[in-house]
Chains A and B, each alone.
Chain A
Amino acid sequence: MIELAYWQETILKLVFAFVAVLIPAGLTVNLYLFKMVSFMQSRLGPMEAGPFGSLQLVAEVGKWAQKEDIVPRRADEFVYKASPYVVLLSTFLLVLVVPFGPDAMFANFGTGIFFAMAVSSVSVIGILMAGWASASKYSLLGGLRAAGQLIAYELPLVLAVVGVVIQAGSLNLQDIVMAQHNGEIFGWGAIGNPFILTQFVGFMIFLIAVQAELTQTPFDMPIAESELVSGYMTEYSGFRFLLFFIGEFATANIFAFLGATLFLGGWSIPPFLMDIIPGLAPELDATGAVLSEGGNSAAGMSPWFNLIGPLVMLVKMLALTFIVYWVRFTYPRFREDQLQKFAWKVLIPISLVNIAVTGVLKVVF
Chain B
Amino acid sequence: MMNLVLQTALSDTGNWIANIFFYIIAAVAVVAALKMVTTNNVVHASLYLLVVLSAVAATYVILGAEFAAATQVLVYLGAIMVLLLFGVMLTRAKIGAETDLDYDQRWIGALVATALGAVMMYSLWEGFGDVTMPAEQVPQRTEAVADEIFSTYIVPFEALSVLLLAALIGAVVVARRD
Q: Which residues of B contact A114 (CB under 8 A)?
A: 67, 70-71, 74, 142
B21-62 interface bits toward A, Cβ cutoff 8 Å, 1 = contact, 0 = none: 000000000000000000001011001001000000000000
Is B77's CB under 8 angstroms from A132's CB? no
Inter-chain CA distance A144–B66, complex, in Å, is 31
Contact of B66 among A111, A117, A143 (CB under 8 A): A111
Is B142's CB under 8 angstroms from A111's CB? yes
| Interface residue A119 (Cβ < 8 Å from any Cβ of B) | yes
Which residues of A does B touch, CB under 8 Å?
Answer: 5-7, 74-76, 79, 109-111, 114-115, 117-119, 121-122, 124-125, 128-129, 131-133, 135, 140, 143-144, 147-148, 150-151, 154, 171
| Interface residue B82 (Cβ < 8 Å from any Cβ of A) | yes
A-B pairs with beta carbons under 8 Å apart, 23 shown: A6-B6, A7-B6, A74-B95, A76-B41, A76-B43, A110-B67, A110-B140, A114-B70, A114-B74, A115-B73, A118-B71, A118-B78, A121-B78, A121-B82, A124-B78, A125-B50, A125-B85, A128-B89, A132-B43, A147-B86, A148-B86, A151-B82, A154-B78
User: In this complex, what residue of A is CB-closest to B65?
Assistant: A111
User: In this complex, what residue of A is CB-closest to B144?
Assistant: A110
Which residues of B does A touch, CB under 8 Å?
Answer: 3, 6-7, 10, 41, 43-44, 47, 50, 66-67, 70-71, 73-74, 77-79, 81-83, 85-86, 89-90, 93, 95-96, 139-142
Q: How many A-B residue pairs have CB under 8 A?
A: 89
Task: Say how far B21's CB is from chain A's closest CB, in angstroms.
Answer: 13
Inter-chain CA distance A151–B141, complex, in Å, is 28
Inter-chain CA distance A6–B11, complex, in Å, is 10
Is B7's CB under 8 angstroms from A110's CB? no
Is A151's CB under 8 angstroms from B83's CB? yes
Query: Beyond A115-B70, A128-B82, A151-B79, is A144–B90 a contact (Cβ under 8 Å)?
Result: yes
Query: Beyond A7-B6, A76-B95, A132-B89, is A111–B67 a contact (Cβ under 8 Å)?
Result: yes
Looking at chain B's contact residues, the main secondary structure is: helix
Inter-chain CA distance A76–B79, complex, in Å, is 24
Besides A6-B6, A79-B47, A144-B89, 7 other CB < 8 A contacts? A7-B3, A75-B95, A110-B67, A114-B67, A114-B71, A114-B74, A118-B73
Query: Beyond A118-B70, A119-B73, is A128–B78 a contact (Cβ under 8 Å)?
Result: no
Is B89's CB under 8 angstroms from A121's CB? no
Is A79's CB under 8 angstroms from B43's CB? yes
Query: Beyond A79-B43, A122-B73, A125-B77, is A135–B67 a contact (Cβ under 8 Å)?
Result: no
Is B95's CB under 8 angstroms from A6's CB? no
Q: Which residues of B contact A129 (CB under 8 A)?
A: 47
